Amino acid sequence: MKYDIVIVGGGPAGLAAATSAKENGIDRILILERDHELGGILNQCIHNGFGLHTFKEELTGPEYAERFIEKIKALNIEYKLNTMVLDISKDKKVTALNKEDGLFEIEAGSIILAMGCRERSRGALNIPGYRPAGVYSAGTAQRFVNIEGYMPGKEVVILGSGDIGLIMARRMTLEGAKVKVVAELMPYSGGLKRNIVQCLDDFGIPLKLSHTVTKIHGKERVTGVTLAQVDENRKPIEGTEEYYSCDTLLLSVGLIPENELTNNLDVKMVPVTSGPEVNESLETSMEGVFACGNVLHVHDLVDYVTEEAVAAGKNAAKYIHGEYKKGTYIELVGCDGVRYTVPKYINPDNMEDVVTVRFRVGDVYKDSYVSVSFDEKEVIHRKKRVLAPGEMEDVKLKKEDILAQSDLKKITIRIKED
């Protein structure tokens, strides 16, 4: 089998990348999806709030996915479901496995990585106690409730205020469970402000910041958890322990890009994001291998995933058409509160008129400035009322500005407080 572009993952990133590549003149595209349907995790996100940027209307996750699935069908883009990619080789051979074809190999002209992310588990946090049934990641619980129609528990404590945790606090309540508390290790929430208001405040669910679970009780099924306040080093403070009886502990303690295949490829990785290092075209350090969506860095909004994936699809098409230029790279550096930037490098010869640079901050900042410097010269100084780790930020860089600065070597993005 030979394809111009093979896309690993049929979630929002993979679907948008595929349609974009097709619209940019590539015919031989194949999407490989491990689940039994396209759409990825959107299928279990039955709440609304998707699509405000992309479609200027509020959709549910499945509705948002449906728009792209329809497009994939209308554009006759090929896809294989229930298909697991086992390996990607350096010469762009993709090995996959499914029931119908068995083990098979595809030669790809270009590859777009769109595998998404997974949830951090209890083990990664080393939460002490027994190991009973009733400890679920928020996403697993979401699947049970929203897709299978089953309740994983009735009295719930949630650790972590990431968006999935917040959404699940509301969902479990709507489905008849009692959500007793959401505990967050950090002094600020990891989720979007709007989710805190709409999912917790509106339902009277308390959010305890600077708190963590110090013990899980129950030998067979969870019977309760102990919560404690933490100090500035995130260590539990003795004497602040509080027992909550519950049958379920949901964890929403972070997402990790699923880069197992990428790691085998030996591309350069960014430790902060756990995603690959990419340039302005969202190309990894391996020529012709692109990445977009949550496999690249974890997003808050699917709309931004779509935007990124459209760019990746278009650039992969350019690569196949041979319109890609070699050139010199300008490095992007995040510092003073900016934890990382995507992309990490810009080759002005390949960039569009405007490149969106996305980043996250490492702390909560109020009335601060996002500052961008071209070498030593500050070119953007933009006031932000609030910057928080839970909300992805971006700056848009214009090609004309970059070209105007001769011999530009480094673009620095930082947060200035004053």
Partner 1 sequence: MYDVMIIGAGVIGSSVARELSRFQLKTCVLEREVDVCEGTSKANSGIVHSGFDAKPNSLKAKLNVKGSKMMEQLSKDLDFPYRKNGSIVLCFHEEDMDKLEALCEQGKKNGVDGIRIVKGEEMKQLEPNISDEVVGLLYAPTGGIVCPFNLTIAMAENANVNGVEFKFDCEVEHIEKIEEGYKLKTSQGDYETKVIVNAAGVYGDVFNNMVSKRKLSITPRKGEYCLLDKKVGTFVNKTVFQLPTKLGKGVLITPTVHGNLLIGPNANDIDDKENVETTSEGITDIIEKAKLSSGKVPANQVITSFAGLRAHEAGDDFVIGEAVDAKGFFNAVGIESPGLSSAPAIGVMMAQLVEEYLLPPKKKHFIATRKGMVDLAHASKEEIAELVKKRPEYGTVVCRCEMVTEGEIIDAIQRPLGAKTMDGVKRRTRAGMGRCQAGFCTPKTMEILARELHLSPFDITKSGKDATLLVGYDKEDL
Helix, strand or coil for residue 313?
Answer: helix
Q: Which is nearer to partner 1, 51 or 224 (CB)?
A: 224
Question: Which among 100-108, 283-291, 324-332, 333-341 is the span making contact with partner 1, rule CB under 8 A?
Answer: 100-108
Are the C-beta atoms of residues 290 and 111 closer than 8 Å to each other?
yes
| CA distances for 288 relative to 74, 105, 283, 306, angstroms | 26, 18, 7, 20
- Residue of 1, 52, 74, 86 interacting with partner 1 (CB under 8 A): 86
Residues whose CB falls within 8 Å of the CB of residue 75, separated by 6 or more in sequence, listed in order: 19, 22, 23
Q: Which is nearer to partner 1, 204 or 322 (CB)?
A: 204
Are the C-beta atoms of residues 125 and 48 closer than 8 Å to each other?
no
d(CA 95, CA 379): 46
Q: Are strands 211-217 and 224-229 parallel, antiparallel or unpaired?
A: antiparallel
Residue 151 binds partner 1, judged by CB under 8 A: yes
d(CA 18, CA 101): 22
Q: Which is nearer to partner 1, 145 or 292 (CB)?
A: 145
- Residue of 219, 234, 381, 396 interacting with partner 1 (CB under 8 A): 219
Are the C-beta atoms of residues 17 and 309 closer than 8 Å to each other?
yes
d(CA 179, CA 225): 13
**Site map for partner 1, 3-42, x if CB under 8 A?**
-------------------------------x--------
State which of positions 168-187 bind partner 1 (CB under 8 A). Answer: 175-177
- Residue of 4, 33, 163, 247 interacting with partner 1 (CB under 8 A): 247
Question: Which among 215-223, 287-295, 349-357, 369-377 is the span making contact with partner 1, rule CB under 8 A?
Answer: 215-223
Give the burial class of 225: count Cβ atoms within 10 A of its Cβ; 0-12 exposed, 13-18 middle, 19 or more buried: buried
Q: Which is nearer to partner 1, 176 or 322 (CB)?
A: 176
Question: Which among 20-28, 45-53, 145-153, 160-168 is the span making contact with partner 1, rule CB under 8 A?
Answer: 145-153
Residue 46 binds partner 1, judged by CB under 8 A: no
Of 294, 298, 322, whose CA–CA distance to 309 is shortest? 294
Q: Which is nearer to partner 1, 148 or 336 (CB)?
A: 148
Residue 100 binds partner 1, judged by CB under 8 A: yes
Which two three-digit tokens encode residue 385? 């009322």
Of 21, 16, 20, whose CA–CA distance to 4 is shortest? 21
- Residue of 131, 194, 268, 410 interacting with partner 1 (CB under 8 A): 131
Question: Which among 199-207, 219-227, 356-364, 380-388 is the span making contact with partner 1, rule CB under 8 A?
Answer: 219-227
Q: Which is nearer to partner 1, 102 or 322 (CB)?
A: 102
The residue count for binding partner 1 (CB under 8 A) is 54
Residue 272 binds partner 1, judged by CB under 8 A: no
- Residue of 39, 49, 153, 257 interacting with partner 1 (CB under 8 A): 153
Residue 268 binds partner 1, judged by CB under 8 A: no
- Residue of 56, 76, 103, 407 interacting with partner 1 (CB under 8 A): 103
How far apart are CB 130 and partner 1 at their closest, in Å? Answer: 5
Residue 137 binds partner 1, judged by CB under 8 A: yes
Backbone region of residue 24 per phi and psi (left: phi > 0; alpha: psi in -120 to 50; beta: other values): alpha
d(CA 92, CA 143): 33
User: Phi then psi for 211, rounded to 5 degrees?
Assistant: -130, 150
Question: Which among 10-18, 195-203, 216-224, 339-347 is the span making contact with partner 1, rule CB under 8 A?
Answer: 216-224
Residue 259 binds partner 1, judged by CB under 8 A: no
Residue 122 binds partner 1, judged by CB under 8 A: yes
| CA distances for 319 relative to 46, 77, 109, 114, 151, angstroms | 36, 19, 9, 17, 47
d(CA 243, CA 180): 11
| CA distances for 97 relative to 82, 83, 323, 360, angstroms | 8, 6, 33, 36
Q: Which is nearer to partner 1, 238 or 418 (CB)?
A: 238
- Residue of 140, 198, 240, 405 interacting with partner 1 (CB under 8 A): 140
Contact residues for partner 1 (CB under 8 A)?
Answer: 34, 82, 84, 86, 95, 97-103, 118-119, 121-124, 126, 128-134, 136-137, 139-140, 143-145, 147-154, 175-177, 214-216, 219-221, 236, 247, 260, 263
